Amino acid sequence: MLEGRSFLVSRTLPSSLEQENKWTYTTCRVGAEVSNGKRPFELDLEEEGGLRKASKVSDHEENLPRAQFDRLSLTLAAPIDHAYNQRQSSDQADTSSLIPPIGRDLTINCLLQCSRADYGSLASLNRSFRSLIKSGEMYRIRQQNKVIEHWVYFSCRLLEWVAFDPVTQRWMQLPRMNSNECFMCSDKESLAVGTELLVFGKDLMSHVIYNYSILTNSWSSGMSMNSPRCLFGSASLGEIAIFAGGCDSQGNILSSAELYDSEKQTWVTLPSMSKPRKMCSGVFMDGKFYVIGGIGGSSGRALSCGEEFDLKTRTWKEIPHMSPGNHGSSPGNGMPSPAEAPPLVAVVNNELYAADYADMEVKKYSKETRVWITVGRLPERAGSMNGWGLAFRACGERVIVIGGPRGQGEGIIEVNSWVPSEGPPEWRLLGRKQCGSFVYNCAVMGC
């Protein structure tokens, strides 16, 4: 990412463009940090020429001839002016090469250095830029080049979602979900896969899935699993996701599983687990999918085992003692607390961590000994109700904890970050927002 460097220069968008794409900004400054009271993407203009030159160059920029990179800034400015002032003629122009003077490939290589927060503005330049972004092609190119940004999406109010970029520490409001009261009040699960945020819930007599696309900045519905369910364990790996266990519409606990491909928009039934379970969690680790903990069997007992699914052999293997447990919240007879949340787990660099919300501790799973080891504390103000209302997620190289103080009436949510590779948990407060202190749903999108 080009930190703190001007890459595109734009002018205030006409209201028609702002209405078409709420993700547009008046300026596009790549990766700018918040400093001196300025927001990211604010831009200072030089008196002469109206363009601010980059004070430094990144490793990627250094690979470009200086004159060529300067020409890139100028050629980018011209299409922006053209798009803002004469949008109709711009849409009709032949712009298949995006920026003709430097060619399509070099243009795309430069766009890879932009944060995806800039892509709404880029889509406003002309038809080819719009197609590149909204078709998902740019995200496929990013994935091929291993350019990934992890954003956190969460909901603290019914039907309302916000996104948070932990790098720029910028908040973004998503459009409000358009659903009926039944779905609004039902229990919901969420998962991000590819460029989609999926929210699962109930609508009158059936399960329903709402899909938020970052390509269109809009919600849609109509998708359906092969075996609709709720209270399942799930996780995503790039553009695929696996869903296992849960309950059907009659309340039966399931052992079945299925895979969703966000590129093909297809659901594929997988072999069933050895044990039915609900209220479980799912993660990907070492290229395999794991289901951890939950409640299983007719007696509704808590399961301490996990199950591992090998995508290559398409087989399940039971892993004993994989559930982290929360010994402070269970009656002690193997029966879970009625209000106990599924295990709060996260995988960073193929290492498994868990939040023990009873003792406010962070634990790490030893793959060799298959035991959980306490490595530190959770953020002190990250309260929960038996694990509910607290988000514990992997976000790239970080573990993210989202929660707020309970019982103080503050209505504040805080985003805390810890990088495990740097040592024991030392939490850094990344952001604070007045939106309630209970997290209903949370997902991390990496694309």
Residue with tokens 């200086």: 66
- Give tens-digit pLDDT for 135-158: 999 999 999 999 999 999 999 998
DSSP 275: S
Alpha-carbon torsion angle 438, 436, 157, 231, nearest 10: 0
Indicate whether this model's pTM tops 0.85: no
Q: Classify domain 179-323 by CATH number.
A: 2.120.10.80
CA-wise closest residue to 279 among 192, 207, 189, 385: 189
Structure tokens at 82: 């053209």
Is the pLDDT score of 403 beyond 80?
yes
- Give tens-digit pLDDT for 175-216: 999 888 888 888 899 999 999 999 999 887 789 999 999 999
- What are the domain boundaries of the chain? 5-144, 150-174+341-447, 179-323
CA-wise closest residue to 139 among 194, 219, 97: 194
Neighbour count for residue 263 (Cβ, 10 Å): 13
Is the pLDDT score of 416 beyond 80?
yes
Is the pLDDT score of 439 beyond 60?
yes
Percent pLDDT > 70 in the chain is 74
- Give tens-digit pLDDT for 44-66: 333 333 333 333 333 443 444 44
Q: Which amino acid is at 281?
A: S
Is the pLDDT score of 266 beyond 50?
yes
- Give tens-digit pLDDT for 377-388: 999 988 888 899
| Non-local CB neighbours of 236 within 8 Å, separated by 6+ positions | 191, 192, 193, 194, 284
Task: Choose between 377 and 97: higher pLDDT.
Answer: 377
Mean pLDDT check: name the lowest of 20-29, 258-267, 293-302.
Answer: 20-29
Write out the H or E segment, with its range, that includes residue 237: strand 233-237
Question: Given this model, what pLDDT does residue 5 score?
Answer: 37
Question: Given this model, what pLDDT does residue 55 score?
Answer: 35
Instruction: Give the separation between CA 207 and CA 205, rounded to whole angstroms.
Output: 7
Count how many Cα atoms sit within 13 Å of the Cα of residue 41 in the half-sphere of its side chain: 21
Q: Are 236 and 243 in contact (CB under 8 A)?
A: no
Q: Confidence class of residue 325 from pLDDT cuts 50, 70 and 90? A: confident
Q: Are 322 and 308 in contact (CB under 8 A)?
A: no
Question: Given this model, what pLDDT does residue 331 score?
Answer: 45
| Non-local CB neighbours of 233 within 8 Å, separated by 6+ positions | 243, 244, 245, 246, 277, 280, 281, 282, 291, 292, 294, 342
Is the pLDDT score of 220 beyond 90?
yes
Question: Given this model, what pLDDT does residue 298 score?
Answer: 67
Mean pLDDT check: name the lowest of 9-13, 79-83, 92-96, 300-304.
Answer: 9-13
